Structure 1
Amino acid sequence: MALDQTIQRLFLKIRGAVQGVGFRPFVYRLATELKLRGWVHNSVQGVLIEVEGQQEQLEIFRQRLEIEKPPRSQIHHIEATWLDSVGYKEFSIRTSETTSASDLGIKSLKSAIVLPDLATCPDCLGEIFAPSDRRDRYPFTNCTNCGPRYSIIKALPYDRRHTTMHDFPMCPACLSEYTDPLSRRFHAQPNACPDCGPQLELWDGNGKVLAGGDRALVETAAQIAEGKILAIKGLGGFHLVVDARNRVAVQQLRQRKQRPHKPFALMYPSLAQIRSDCMVSELEENLLRSPEAPIVLLHKQSKLKFPCEDVSPRNPYLGVMLPYTPLHHLLMAILQFPIVATSGNLADEPICIDEREALERLGNIADAFLVHDRPIVRPVDDSMVRVMGDRPMVLRRARGYAPLPLTLPPLMPRGIKGSEGILALGGHLKNAIALGFDSQIFLSQHIGDLETIPAFENFQFVISSLSSIYEFQPKAIACDAHPDYRSSQFAQKLGQQFKVPVIPVQHHYAHVLSCMADNQISPPVLGIAWDGTGYGLDGTIWGGEFLSIAETSWERVAYFRPFPLPGGEKAVKQPRRAALGILWGIFGERLRSLPNSKTLQAFSAQELNAIAVMLSKHLNSPLTSSVGRLFDAIASLLDVCQQASFEGQAAMELESILDQGIEASYEFDILGEVINWSPAIAAILQDLEYQLPLSQISAKFHNTLVETIVAVAERVGTSQIMLTGGCFQNKYLTERAVQRLRQEGFAPFWHQQVPPNDGGLAVGQTIAILRDISAL
């Protein structure tokens, strides 16, 4: 029988975040409502749809797809093809194996987007606290709107067999939900219940089971309330948890974790309790309650007495999050007080994801271990966000955000056709890697500092793991220009393995390009790249850079006057050494005669003699233009911080004491391309002698830095200004710079989804290759 010629067939290939978010049941319901026939299924490229019906109805279907799509989905591109009707009798949801991309003549490169792990949705939350529900108090409840994704997936397409839930066969009740297109658990790959899913156990330090199921959770809460340190296996790895109110317990955790000063993250039972301790804006509230559920930096209430000072020493901000998994919700419902929830690791090591590994690595820290038997494929830390200029700025990009891709800025020249096959390996600190292909950049989760062997092994695993998901092979490899970085050395090894070019990218150039990509900005721009350390093209350490980026070139147009860092790497953790380098640059040998110098008093006479020899003979005293080290020097001169136990401590403490009501700034000179800080340092020393409040000196120093930005911007004349690098994690510095630049008629841009610190370098490195010019 001949087919009805008025019926047409529409084939759609939808790319974006469309797997694991209830997209197929949405398509099924929409097609059924419009009385269309055909099928939908997941593929390695996204979601494929064939629908037959009257052309008018098909056009309505296509329009409503974009308008009514599920809230957690993202449609990046729809490719439509009109075909002859084949006579489908109904609309169905096909399994991923039914139709392959190659059967349809589609390029086989995997490009379906892997979703991040998502916080518990309101529907699932209601079920775990409903005594009549079969999932009452079940800590692994999820649906297509929430739950684990990236942390459990092994391969594409996103099907249960490609996740760590493969070894948990569904019971009849769960299977019924999983196969029902009208259920919100239709093809929810981690779907489970108490009868068929993962289970909790509480272990002692030797791995002996103390309790199981809900009893394990109740006993865990009891031990936390007693002041014990618990290692808890969560979504992307272990947390180390203590009662945040218990000063002795917090101090004990600091001692065992070897983390003397760095702030701990807190988890609160409710938003109301957060408000009692912190100031929370509407935007910050939305971030806390979002599906990403990051740690949000919040200003403490002025009369805060709790949490104890040991949680966030000498810092007016707290890093705060709400429960984001059923396990956390259930635990916090029992405790009803804030807990420290810090990464389950030792300093400079990746977080633990396996319970047996945790016993070994965390055995000297935790008193007991709350574990479960759902394997974690890859470690995923908690993300961290700070509101800057009424916009969220991601400082650590991990759970909830990674590995969602960025699209390339408009009009960006392509050095490699189709932008396919670029592997960017980032830097040495706050490392993250990126894959560039299909006009997108897939930025990995935060990996961390590559200081230890376990950290470097995790770096290699993330490269292999993310590449494996997309069956990715590089055509070019980008790395930092510093030849001694482990990431750069590994890039050379990979280049030989894949027989592809390895392209070093100057550190601050990559920073500026990452900010451009984050804001979808094309050249020309003036980039302000300020951080602690970056390998300079002139053999010095850069970090106070003003870079002019044109369409096919870039140049350094201004920088801070270099000063020596006695001891080199030692100066990074000793702000007093940076201060000595600054003072030597002004006074030379005469610095010893400075009256009442807190910096000089921080050294013994023997240490001063040794460092004076180093400086006079230029021994192990590399020059730097770094604003990060300039922050260190001022913190030392003001006796705010002489020795630091974590990166950025001195700058954080200097920011924390400033008086925001001060408008004054210090003088500075610009001599050619060099910004001379000598007049400002001399004035700071004078203010110290006159005993001006440190809060005012700090504010004047911050304001001076902002005025250097405005002065150079006026000299260069480019309207688009990029603010990038670790120094722009400083809220006052960033917001004042934005304000002043706007006052002078410039268009400032700062980071949002890509971290301003070295966690965003891989994005900039990818863009550098695409610009098809010398990355150096």
Structure 2
Amino acid sequence: MTGTLRIRVRGQVQGVGFRPFIWQLAHRLGIRGDVLNDPEGVLIHAEGPHIDRFVAAITAEAPPLARVDAVETTAYAFDTPPTGFEIAASQGSGAETRVTPDAATCPDCLADIRGDDPRRRGYAFTNCTHCGPRFTILNGLPYDRARTTMAGFEMCAHCAAEYADPGDRRFHAQPVACALCGPKLAFEDADGTHVDAIAAAARALLDGAILAIKGLGGFHLCCDATNSEAIEQLRIRKHRPAKPLALMGRWEDIDRHARPDAEERAVLGSAAAPIVLLAKGDPLPHALAPGQNHLGWMLPYTPLHHLLLDAVSRPLVMTSGNLSGEPQVIANAEARDKLGGIADAILDHDRDIARRLDDSVMRLTPEGPMILRRARGMVPDTLPLPEGFDDAPQVVAYGGQMKSALCLLKNGQALLGHHLGELDEALTLEAFLQADADYAALFNHRPDVVAVDLHPDFQATRHGEARARDEGLALEPVQHHHAHLAACMAENGHALTGGRVAGIVLDGLGLGPDGTVWGGELLLGDYTGFDRRAWLTPAPLIGGDRAQAEPWRNALVRLDQAGLSDWADQLFGDKPLEIARMAASKGLNAPQSSSAGRLFDAVAAVLGICPDGQSYEGEAAMRLEALASEHECPPVPLDHGASGVDPAPLFHRLRADLSAGASKADCAALFHNSLAHAFAREARALVEAGEADHVALSGGCFQNARLLRDTLEALGMDRTRVYLHHRTPANDGGLALGQAVIAAARHRLRR
């Protein structure tokens, strides 16, 4: 077949070597014409024999980092018949296409830094079209060098030749560089600046020093993961007494100190290179993750990391470089200012970071992959919207207060932004506002609708309300747990007209339309609305936010509700119980809450797990899960009455079992199974009654692998009828996706 076509390729097709791939394909098949980047993706004009084979190969043979969403063809006529095939200059600005996430060092580039070519041997910024920085260096679209933080590094003749050669894997690799012309490392300690930065950094780490190291999306704080004293010093300086520390290691380190299975190995070695929670192997210092049976591991994902790991030949702590509660540091001067009191030395470089990205975090369970934090390597990838949302308006959704992330809807796709953090922190709020402007500019996004959480005091809600008011946009407040349910439905492709879903939504807190704090809910809903069918019996949050920080407060009210005040007096007699009980009885700074997260805290406190206070969010629940992991115990029935699902029988059983000598691990397992069965029973009843065809599990508590497993077993349903989170976080990091699809569905309904 011979023909002349205009071919539009949509998807993740810029910054992945797509144009040289098309060039090589065209030469192989005798196709004439041109290819270029523009705001919609890749545009090809082509004629010649085998045009059908050419079009088919665009998807079938696409480069490894490419994601082809669509290949659209229309007839085309050249003004002047082409005699060859060329790569034309990019056109336009802004984006209708997807931007490629940062990608871990590929095997070819790894071989280069360990090879004999002096330009790249030991060079910490080696990359090609199959790997390297993308989103973290991007200032604008289309993705060309002039619109990245590499713009100031003029290519040497060698790099320029590689960049211009369509047959080279560095053809139009925008960050291409070598030791002659690219970014340079610098190592600075108390003795000054050192010439061989990697060697000096390795010596310092082996001597027990703490380093601040500049990565792709920000600085890490780093020390020797086998050195207990260095780890303890890092915890003291960073004021991080117990929160688990992430580790970076080579395969030999991970295989020794963990036991990754085939699926975990595949995720660790993927282009995203996330942190993956792995069961412990040969012991490392206990202080890395007190009270946990998993450690978070990642492979080195830049040449700098590979070179450093090669030099020290041992695993390293690689935790976010920030002051407590603040966002990760990204600038060199900022690192010296903020991290100078923590780090003994700084390993940085002169390539700027365009946007802050934490490391992504994943967990692999028998029920599938689980994303705990969606960031470097995973954003700004998009998700297709379900059937029925094809004509959805452009929507911006701003998420919640915790684990903040925003979401944009456009052209049938949802772009869920990167993890930002807690918006009560001023610098995180500043980063949130920057991200809002950043995404809007990069993706040429002009929303018709703004979606926010129902809570009026959330910073994200206030910002969304102000933007809607100032720009005359429609505002759509969305209840927190409805958003969780909708996010899970959307991720699983539940059609707009697919009917109602029974959603078990368990998390810390979210404002209900009745003015109380929800968090342990069974909802029956679709994208436009919901009914609340079951909930945990509410209990007062004594001291408001302090109840989240001090688990004994939650245990006290639950024990008092169960008629076990004498046990509360025994367990927490050193606490101001009289004042606390008075506040609870009079409702003084003690709002009623059905929070499952606070129930986790209550049970943990009863079992003696950090009852006085949590040093990081979720500490009590994470320790409780770790304690329960290898134990089995039949559930205690928790009946659903007029006041909700009452956990009182559970506390009576816990007291009896502990008195009879039961282990705390068995008690932790009993709690997980009892909570799971209580909500699974109610959800299954909705399905059996024909009110729902599917059950969705969402909310931060379902990042607990034990609770997830117990709930699935208790549901006893065909797994194809249970929606889980695999590509978006079950926690508040996925909240904005749910807000966005709800806003779009309601907007469509009103038209």
TM bin (shorter chain): over 0.9
The amino acid that maps onto 2:165 is: D
Q: Which residue of 2 aligns with 1:171?
A: 156
Q: Which whole-Å deviations, capped at 9, do the CAs of 1:48-76 have from their partners, x for residues lacking one?
A: 0010124xx11111111111111110011
Q: Please say if residues 564 and 585 of structure 1, whose CA atoms lie closer than 8 Å, have aligned partners that are also in contact.
A: no
3-state SS, counterpart of residue 168 of structure 2: coil
Residue in structure 2 matched with residue 436 of structure 1 by the alignment: 409
- C-alpha separation between the residues in 2 aligned to 1:648 and 1:407? 31
Aligned residues of 2:399 and 2:405 also touching (Cα < 8 A): yes
CA distance in 2, matches of 1:452, 1:710: 37
The 5 Å alignment of 1:303-452 reads 304-306=282-284, 308-412=285-389, 418-452=391-425
Deviation larger for 232-241 or 651-660: 651-660
- 1:96 matched to 2:90? The reply is yes
Q: Is the counterpart of residue 77 in structure 1 residue 70 in structure 2?
A: yes
State the partner residue of 2:682.
Answer: 712
Q: 1:113 aligns with which of 83, 87, 98?
A: 98
Q: Partners of 1:451 and 1:256 in 2: how far apart? A: 23
Q: Shift of residue 258 of structure 1?
A: 1.3
Q: 2 CA distance for matches of 1:569 and 1:279?
A: 39
Relative to 1, partners in 2 of residues 1:504 and 1:595: Cα closer, same or farther, differing over 3 Å? closer
Q: How many residues align?
A: 740
Specify which of 592, 615, 621 is matched with residue 584 of structure 2: 615
Give the TM-score normalised by the residue count of structure 1. 0.93
Q: Which of 624, 634, 637 is matched with 2:603 structurally? A: 634
Name the residue aligned to 2:725: 751
Q: What is the aligned counterpart of 1:220 among 185, 201, 204?
A: 201
> When the two structures are superposed, what TM-score results if normalisation uses the length of structure 2?
0.96
CA distance in 2 between counterparts of 1:496 and 1:279 reads 53
Q: Is the 8 A contact 2:681 2:714 kept in 1?
A: no
Residue of structure 1 equivalent to 2:125 = 140
The superposition leaves residues 11-65 of structure 1 with CA deviations (integer Å, 9 ceiling, x where unpaired) of: 01111000111111111111111111000000011000010124xx111111111
> Do the aligned partners of 2:399 and 2:735 also contact (CA within 8 Å) in 1?
yes
Partners of 1:524 and 1:550 within 8 A in 2? yes
Shift of 1:473: 2.4
Q: Aligned letter for 2:582?
A: V
2:30 counterpart residue number? 35
**Paired residue for 2:704?**
730
Letter of the structure 2 residue corresponding to residue 716 of structure 1: L
Q: Aligned partners of 1:751, 1:222: CA distance in 2, in Å?
A: 43
Residue number among 503, 524, 527 corresponding to 2:503 in the alignment: 527
The 3-state SS of whatever aligns with 1:318 is strand
Partner of 1:3: none
**2:367–2:709 CA contact under 8 A, matched in 1:** no
Task: Tell me the distance in 1 between the aligned counterparts of 2:426 and 2:304.
Answer: 32
Question: 1:396 and 1:79 mapped to 2: Cα distance?
Answer: 34
In structure 2, the partner of 1:545 is 521
**Is residue 2:689 matched to residue 1:694?**
no
CA contact (8 A) 1:52 1:85 kept: no
| Cα distance in 2 between the residues matched to 1:742 and 1:408 | 29
Distance in 2 between the 1:8 and 1:110 partners? Answer: 29
Contact kept in structure 2, 1:741 and 1:747, CA below 8 Å: no
Rate the CA distance shift 1:744–1:442 in 2: closer, same or farther, 3 A.
closer
Contact between 2:247 and 2:295, CA under 8 Å: does it hold in 1?
Answer: yes
Residues 553 and 773 in structure 1, CA contact (< 8 A), matched pair in contact too: no
Describe the SS at the equivalent of 1:640.
coil
Distance in 2, Cα, partners of 1:216 & 1:634 = 50
Describe how 1:467-478 pairs up with structure 2 within 5 A: 467-478=440-451
Report Cα offsets for 1:67-121 as digits up to 9, x if no partner: 1111110011122111235411111011114xx5xxxxxxx87212111100000
- Among 174, 177, 193, which residue is 2:178 paired with? 193
> Any conservation in 2 of the 1:201–1:209 contact (CA below 8 Å)?
no
Change (3 A) 1:741 1:616: closer
Shift of 1:673: 7.5
Q: Which deviates more from structure 2 when the two are superposed, residues 519-528 or residues 27-36?
A: 519-528
Q: What is the alpha-carbon distance in structure 2 between the residues aligned to residue 506 and residue 71 of structure 1?
A: 40
Contact 1:558–1:673 (8 Å) recurs in 2: no
How far, CA to CA, are the matches of 2:631 and 2:222 in structure 1? 38
Measure how far apart 1:659 and its partner are.
5.4
Distance 1:745 1:224, change over 3 A: closer
Alignment deviations for residues 521-570 of structure 1 (CA, whole Å, 9 cap, x no partner): 23321111100111111111100011112364321111111111111100
1:104 aligns with none
Residue 264 of structure 1: which of 223, 238, 245 is its match? 245
SS for the counterpart of 1:165 is coil
Is contact 2:633-2:666 (8 Å) kept?
no
1:49 — aligned with what? 44
Is 2:10 the partner of 1:15? yes
Q: CA deviation at 1:755?
A: 0.5
Conserved 8 A contact 1:8-1:84: no
- Cα RMSD (Å) of the superposition? 1.8
| Secondary structure of the corresponding residue to residue 634 of structure 1 | helix
1:720 Cα offset (Å): 1.0
Moved more, 236-245 or 546-555: 546-555
Report deviation, 1:129: 0.4
AA in 1 matched with 2:601: D
Residue deviations 1:739-760, cap 9 Å, x none?
Answer: 3324578722211110110000
Give yes or no for the alignment of 1:518 onto 2:503.
no
1:710–1:466 CA distance, 2 compared to 1 (3 A) = same
Partner of 1:657, secondary structure, is helix
Aligned partner (choices 638, 651, 658) of residue 681 of structure 1: 651
1:156 aligns to 2:141 (yes or no):
yes
1:668, distance to aligned residue in structure 2 (A): 1.1
1:564–1:173: structure 2 CA closer, same or farther, 3 Å change rule?
same
How many percent of aligned residue pairs carry the same amino acid? 40
Report the equivalent of 2:277: 297
- Kept in 2, the 8 Å contact 1:127–1:133? The answer is no
Q: Secondary structure at the match of 1:533?
A: strand
- The change in CA–CA distance for 1:746 and 1:134 in structure 2 (over 3 A counts) is closer
C-alpha spacing 1:745/1:356, structure 2 compared with 1 (3 Å): closer
Q: Name the CA distance, whole Å, in 2 between partners of 1:421 and 1:713.
A: 33
Q: Does structure 1 residue 255 correspond to structure 2 residue 236?
A: yes
> Which deviations, in whole Å up to 9, do the C-alpha atoms of 1:281-308 show, x marking residues without a partner?
100011111111100000112xx331x0
Deviation, structure 1 residue 641 = 2.2
Distance in 2 separating the partners of 1:608 and 1:633:
15
Match status 1:181 vs 2:151: no
Distance 2:644 2:330 in 1: 48
Q: State how far apart, in whole Å, the 1-side matches of 2:308 and 2:456 are.
A: 47
Shift of 1:500: 0.9
SS at match of 2:545: helix
- Structure 2 stretches of 5 or more lacking a match? none
Q: Secondary structure at the match of 1:610?
A: helix
1:558 equivalent in structure 2: 534
Asked if 2 retains the 8 angstrom alpha-carbon contact of 1:348 and 1:450, the reply is no
Q: For 2:255 and 2:722, locate their aligned partners in 1 and report how far apart those are by CA, in whole Å.
A: 32
What letter is aligned with 1:658?
Answer: A
- Cα distance in structure 2, aligned partners of 1:15 and 1:186: 21
For residues 289 and 745 of structure 1, do their structure 2 counterparts lie closer, same or farther at Cα, with a shift above 3 Å needed? closer
What secondary structure, in the 3-state scheme, does the structure 2 residue paired with 1:568 have?
A: coil
